[in-house]
Amino acid sequence: MNEAFPDIPKIAFEGPTSRNPLSFKHYNAEEVVGGKTMKEHMRFGVAYWHAMRNSLADPFGMGTAQRPWDDGTDSIPNAQRRVWACFEFMDKLGVDYYCFHDRDVAPEGRTLAESNANLDAVADELEKAQQATGKKLLWGTACLFAHPRYCQGAATSPNAHVFAYAAAQVKKALEVTHRLGGEGYTFWGGREGYATLWNTNMKRELDHLARFLHLAVDHKKKIGFEGPFYIEPKPREPSTHQYDSDAAACLNFLREYGLMEHFKLNLETNHATLAGHTMRHEMQVAAAAGALGSVDANTGDELIGWDTDQFPTNLYLTTQIMLEVIKMGGFTTGGLNFDAKVRRESFEPVDLFHAHIGGMDAFARGLKIAQAILDDGRLEAHIAQRYGTFDSGIGAKVEAGTTSFEELEAFTLENGEPLLASGRQEFLENLVNEFM
């Protein structure tokens, strides 16, 4: 096939003084930072649905994207051509992973059998492209939110036949993910929630969702898929309320239904924003539970209230993400998947490169800054020292669980008013700025 991006060469690292927009200024795949190469730290992924399938329509207007390799039809040859465009894109960009929904890569047919056959035909091509380029599948997923049958939910639909259809779709998507050597499998429940409680039995829907995920675990074992399942929190959009609303809600759900050992979280920045949290908050909640699996790397717009899925360029954000990633010991099966789309105004193919290069460079800087902050040690030492009264004496007894209210009362009667230390927020913000 002809090249999809004939005018674009392989993107090289040219360093911070380069003025070539199609080069990396900071992302240098083989450069070692804190004992690992940048590419081992980051494990970047291209999101097939945005890079290859997003027409850049918005609620007020039609798509604008120019994608010359795509004839706009739902044919299998077109879907197969797109595979090679995607792999050429990844290859020129130097990204090793991709992620997909079943319906991004292959068109939905008139029946489940036809849809499955379509998916197999494109999976054949994906397999060939993976073999030809060495690129890998970070995770796969099933689109359980676009088709009208899922308008009232998939696993949480009030209709048992919809539940069955969704199960059949996940079964197939999981099998294809397994066949392609996917390192994980994601569940994002865009319609697993409600529009109004006036028509909803929330308890019953949550029970069904848990049953669905247990069935998926059973099937994963049956076919020998060893990667983790990820659940991706998001509070709303498209539903009014989504059951997987934030990291804490997901963890509570997984614990309540005995699913913790089978799931980790896939955290997305713009979803954290919609939930009224910072990404760092979500990451710490997940990491504390040993459940920080993967990241959908993007950002939202503070002035628009929706999931704008923009490319991340804010160095404070990427620094905070990489701090949490390094502190948890790095990704294992997960990575940084650019669940992000170019703006509707940025309709040329080259804009896909500008967007991803910018995100990769921003994460490279975030990684270096995070590692420098950790190597310097003052920030971490400050936090450790802030809790120093729990390292010995009565504090150590509190942490060890060997004291009582009587003893704490006696301690207070004897020692009087506690001596507090300043929180030093401004001092620490200035310290972080030394590294930016």
The option from Co ion, ligand XUL, none interacting with 245 (CB < 5 to 8 A, set by class) reads none
Positions 278 through 317 that interact with ligand XUL (CB under 6 A): 296, 307
Q: Which helix (H) or strand (E) holds 140?
A: strand 136-141
Comparing CB distances to ligand XUL, the nearer of 28 and 266 is 266
Q: Which is nearer to ligand XUL, 45 or 94 (CB)?
A: 45
Q: How many CB atoms lie within 10 A of CB 292?
A: 25
User: Binding marks (x or -) toward ligand XUL, 75..114, rule CB under 6 A?
Assistant: --------------------------x-------------
In the complex, the smallest distance separating the C-beta of residue 265 from Co ion, rounded to whole angstroms, is 12
Minimum CB–partner distance for residue 268 and ligand XUL (Å)? 5
Alpha-carbon gap, residue 36 to 39, rounded angstroms:
8
Peptide linkage before 148 cis (omega within 30 of 0): no
Per CB under 6 A, does 339 bind ligand XUL?
yes
Distance of CA 226 to the CA centre of its chain: 19
> Which C-beta is closer to Co ion: that of 296 or that of 361?
296
Q: Is 246 in the site for ligand XUL (CB under 6 A)?
A: no
From candidates 232, 282, 324, 361, binder to ligand XUL by CB under 6 A: 232
Q: At closest approach, how far in Å is the CB of 232 from Co ion?
A: 6
> Using the rule CB under 5 A, is 246 a contact of Co ion?
no
Report residue 364 as tokens: 């490279």
- 141 contact, one of ligand XUL, Co ion, none, CB 5-8 Å limit per kind: ligand XUL
Euclidean distance between CA atoms 57 and 54, whole angstroms: 8
The answer to whether 366 touches 315, Cβ cutoff 8 Å, is yes
Catalytic amino acids? 101, 104
Q: From the CB of 237, what's the least distance to ligand XUL, in Å?
A: 7
268 is an interface residue for Co ion by CB under 5 A: yes
| Distance of alpha carbon 376 from alpha carbon 89, whole angstroms | 38
Provide the minimum distance between the beta carbon of 139 and ligand XUL in the complex, in angstroms, as a whole number. Answer: 9
Among candidate residues 65, 17, 31, 100, the one with its CA nearest the CA of residue 360:
31
**Among 41, 172, 220, 234, contact with ligand XUL (rule: CB under 6 A):** 234
Binding mask 151-190 for ligand XUL (x = CB under 6 A): -----------------------------------x-x--
Instruction: Enter the tokens of residue 238.
Output: 């498209």
Applying CB under 6 A, does 244 fall inside the site for ligand XUL? no
Q: Does 192 bind ligand XUL (CB under 6 A)?
A: no
CB atoms within 10 A of CB 22: 17
Task: Give the nearer residue to Co ion in terms of CB position, either 282 or 339.
Answer: 339
Nearer to ligand XUL, 283 or 369 (CB): 283
Q: Which residues contact 49 (CB under 8 A, 6 or more apart)?
A: 100, 101, 104
Q: Could you say which residues in the range 261-280 bind ligand XUL, by CB under 6 A?
A: 268
Of 205 and 339, the one with the shorter C-beta distance to Co ion is 339
Query: 3-state DSSP call for residue 166?
Result: helix
Residue 307 interface partner, choices Co ion, ligand XUL, none, CB cut-off 5-8 Å depending on type? ligand XUL
What values do phi and psi take at 417, rounded to 5? -70, 130
What's phi and psi for 229, nearest 5 deg? -90, 140
Using the rule CB under 6 A, is 141 a contact of ligand XUL?
yes
Instruction: Kindly state the tokens that stand for 251.
Output: 């963890």
Between 13 and 49, CB nearer to Co ion: 49
CB of 270 to Co ion, least distance (A): 8
Listed residue (271, 273, 370) closest to 330, CA to CA: 370
Among 339, 349, 352, 366, binds Co ion (CB under 5 A): 339
Secondary structure tally for the chain: helices H, strands E: 16, 14
Please give the full DSSP string across 34-53, using - where no structure is assigned.
TTEEHHHHH-EEEEHHHHTT
Rg of the chain in Å (alpha carbons): 24
> String of b and e for 114-149 (b: at least 16 CB within 10 Å)?
ebbebbeebbebbbebbeeeebbbbbbbbbbbbbee
The contact set with ligand XUL (CB under 6 A) reads: 101, 141, 186, 188, 232, 234, 268, 296, 307, 339
The contact set with Co ion (CB under 5 A) reads: 268, 296, 339
